[in-house]
Amino acid sequence: MPINRRDFFAMLGGVTPVAPNQAGGDDFSPRSPELHVLSRLTWGVTPADIANIQQMGMEGYIEWQLNPEAIPDPRVDEFMSRRQVLSMSATELRRIADEQYGFVLTNVLWARLFRATHSERQLYERIVEFWTDHFNIPLQDFLTEKTIDDREVIRKHALGNFRDLLFASAQSPAMLMYLDNDVSNKEHPNENYARELMELHTLGVSGGYTEADVKEVARALTGWTIEYGRNDMFVFDMNRHDTGEKLVLGQSLPAGRGIEDGLQVLDILAYHPSTARFIAQKLCRRFVADFPPETIVQSTAEVFFTTGGDIRATMRHLLLSDEFMTAYGQKFRRPIDFIVGTLRALRDGLEVDNTYVFIEPLEGMGQIPYAWNPPNGYPDVAGAWLNTNGLLYRWNIGLSMALAGEGYADGIALNLDAVIPPANTVGELVDLVADRMVAVTLPADLRQLFINLLNRDGDASAPVDARLRRDYLPTLVGLMIASPQFQWH
């Protein structure tokens, strides 16, 4: 196994640079509103997605994707049935992970990419990613627990109710361990979880809590721990609980209670207006733009608040808004999104033997799935990802992946003829590749660059013979993946 535990431990700490992006503009105009919707709801537009949205209409498609439980997903079901480690109990999984850390790790990482690539529930996979960042837990430290958390917390409640999601997270062994609430007790209340619960999970750093609130919440949550040595699940331990009176965000928690203290705190936080605002802000940053218009943040927060944290209703509002519809070219694909986008673009001709082929470049670009160390999750703005190292990686991944059919990428095979249909002329071939790879109308001057690649005289009507196709189709596809139009959506 190529990854060992020590390598994986040596990940970088966290930074969240802020830099204005702004792609947008004529270079990034989608071919149609439907293509814009698909490019944001999916992990990369495929011909099947286009057929679906044409058949269902835009609103119909969005509604379909908002109800993932009703969407059959045979390819993922089949995949999961072959990877038993992904559906094991914590006890079973821990036993295997202790002996075969790399085996479990590789399966979990590949499952992340596989589901994003092949699931019919594309929007669901995107929301799962959002909450994975929001309730970040580094896999390298908590392989078993995070694998369970992904299944039982994030995926179970991704489009459900925020309160349920928050409660599940608060009682998730992975979160209890990661943010140390498992060791908190009345003598030494640990503030780690209490702080991040308010700062990162609910109210936001400017959400109106004080240092005193952090201490009080930590007291309220004492006794929320793990039943170590039995089933290693959540347990409330009254002996560790501080039964004194507490004051949280101006509300009094009477003395003499047990688990009710923590439950009440979570209710206060889940239904707090600052939480609605904070979650709405983050959803809009993810799904609309790095710096979303205030109007959409405001209206999304209202929906979140008035529905009592109904995530599906909140997303429906956001995705049907004018602000969303006009925000094309505003989001820079993060590395995982870029890799999955490449996989989806090529998947009809791709055979994967060696899944590590996709993890190595993610390490090189700084986004191994679930591996962000600090509790704030992988950054979600272009400024964090758009740097020289990352850009060159994208170019080279595009170029070498498209050449996988010629041995440029170990352990994967690619038949580009299964991806790109035959074309008679150079212009036709460029258009076919562009249609398959990107959601925008290529500006004429950029289209001409591709034509120049295939024909020295820049003649779009020049014929494409077998040799030209063989020699240049991989590079054409690679450059389309390397293009700015593939990076922004």
Partner 1 sequence: MSISRRQFLGGGIATGVLGVGQHLFPRWMPRMAFGQAGSRERDVMVVIFNRGGMDGLNAVVPFGEGAGYYDKRPTIAIREPDGSDTSAIDLNGFFGLHPRLRPLKDIYDAGALTVIHGVGSPDPSRSHFEAMEYMERGIPGDKMTATGWVARHLATASWTNNSPFRAVGMGTMLPASFRGEISALALRSIADFHLGGRQDQLAQVQRTLSGLYRVETPDDILSAQAGQVFNTMSQLEELANQFYQPEYGADYPDSEFGRGLRQIAQLIKADMGLEIACVDSGGWDTHDGQGSVDGEMSFLLDDFARGLAAFHADMQDHMNRVTVVSMSEFGRTASENASAGTDHGRASVMFVMGGASAGGVHADWRGLTGDALEDGDLAVTTDYRDVLAELLIKRVKNNAVDQIFPNHTVNLHNIFVE
Residues 438-477 that bind partner 1 (CB under 8 A): 445-446, 449-450, 452-453, 472, 474-475
Pick between residue 248 and residue 442 the one whose CB is nearest to partner 1. Answer: 442
∠264-267-271 over CA atoms, to 5°?
A: 150
- Contact with partner 1 (CB under 8 A): which of 382, 420, 438, 439? 382
Provide the mask over 197-236, with x wherever binding to partner 1 is found by CB under 8 A and - wherever it is not.
--------x-------------------------------
- Contact with partner 1 (CB under 8 A): which of 387, 423, 431, 432? 387
- Report in angstroms how near the CB of residue 427 gets to partner 1 at its nearest: 16
Spatial distance between the Cα atoms of 369 and 260, rounded to a whole number of angstroms: 35
Name every residue whose Cβ is closer than 8 Å to that of residue 293 and which is 6 or more positions away in sequence: 323
Pick between residue 203 and residue 412 the one whose CB is nearest to partner 1. Answer: 412
Q: What DSSP designation does 200 have? A: I
Q: Count of alpha carbons within 13 Å of 162, Cβ hemisphere only?
A: 34
Q: How many helices and strands (H and E) does the chain possess? A: 27, 6
Q: What DSSP designation does 294 have? A: H
Spatial distance between the Cα atoms of 462 and 75, rounded to a whole number of angstroms: 41
Spatial distance between the Cα atoms of 216 and 189, rounded to a whole number of angstroms: 9
Could you say whether residue 16 binds partner 1 (CB under 8 A)? yes
Spatial distance between the Cα atoms of 318 and 315, rounded to a whole number of angstroms: 5
Q: Which two tokens stand for residue 212?
A: 């005193």
Could you say whether residue 98 binds partner 1 (CB under 8 A)? no
Q: Of 420-439, which residues contact partner 1 (CB under 8 A)?
A: none
Q: What DSSP designation does 314 have? A: H
> Residue 428 class from Cβ within 10 Å (0-12 exposed, 13-18 middle, 19+ buried)?
middle
Could you say whether residue 482 binds partner 1 (CB under 8 A)? yes
Using the contact rule CB under 8 A, the part of the chain among 110-118, 300-308, 316-324, 395-403 near partner 1 is: 395-403
- Report in angstroms how near the CB of residue 42 gets to partner 1 at its nearest: 22
Q: What DSSP designation does 464 have? A: -
Using the contact rule CB under 8 A, the part of the chain among 96-104, 122-130, 192-200, 432-440 near partner 1 is: 192-200
Read off the amino acid at residue 403.
Answer: L
- Contact with partner 1 (CB under 8 A): which of 233, 313, 403, 423? 403
- Report in angstroms how near the CB of residue 446 gets to partner 1 at its nearest: 6
Could you say whether residue 196 binds partner 1 (CB under 8 A)? yes
Could you say whether residue 271 binds partner 1 (CB under 8 A)? no
Q: Of 22-51, which residues contact partner 1 (CB under 8 A)?
A: 22-23
Question: 């929001």: which residue's tokens?
Answer: 134
Q: Of 50-89, which residues contact partner 1 (CB under 8 A)?
A: none
Could you say whether residue 389 binds partner 1 (CB under 8 A)? yes
- Contact with partner 1 (CB under 8 A): which of 21, 106, 184, 330? 21
- Contact with partner 1 (CB under 8 A): which of 55, 239, 252, 388? 388
Pick between residue 1 and residue 183 the one whose CB is nearest to partner 1. Answer: 183
∠467-473-475 over CA atoms, to 5°?
A: 120
Q: Of 142-181, which residues contact partner 1 (CB under 8 A)?
A: 180
Using the contact rule CB under 8 A, the part of the chain among 89-97, 100-108, 291-299, 393-401 near partner 1 is: 393-401
- Report whether 103 contacts 346 (CB < 8 A): no
∠250-252-254 over CA atoms, to 5°?
A: 170
Tell me the site size for partner 1, rule CB under 8 A: 76
Q: Residue 161: helix, strand or coil by DSSP? A: strand
Q: Of 362-381, which residues contact partner 1 (CB under 8 A)?
A: 363-366, 373-376
- Report in angstroms how near the CB of residue 165 gets to partner 1 at its nearest: 22
Strand partners, 234: 226
Pick between residue 322 and residue 406 the one whose CB is nearest to partner 1. Answer: 406
Question: 């529930």: which residue's tokens?
Answer: 121
Using the contact rule CB under 8 A, the part of the chain among 19-27, 43-51, 218-226, 429-437 near partner 1 is: 19-27
Pick between residue 161 and residue 400 the one whose CB is nearest to partner 1. Answer: 400
- Report whether 76 contacts 117 (CB < 8 A): no
Spatial distance between the Cα atoms of 297 and 305, rounded to a whole number of angstroms: 12
Pick between residue 18 and residue 51 the one whose CB is nearest to partner 1. Answer: 18
Phi/psi region, residue 308 (left: phi>0; alpha: psi -120 to 50; beta: rest), is: left
Using the contact rule CB under 8 A, the part of the chain among 20-28, 93-101, 259-267, 274-282 near partner 1 is: 20-28
- Contact with partner 1 (CB under 8 A): which of 263, 303, 386, 432? 386
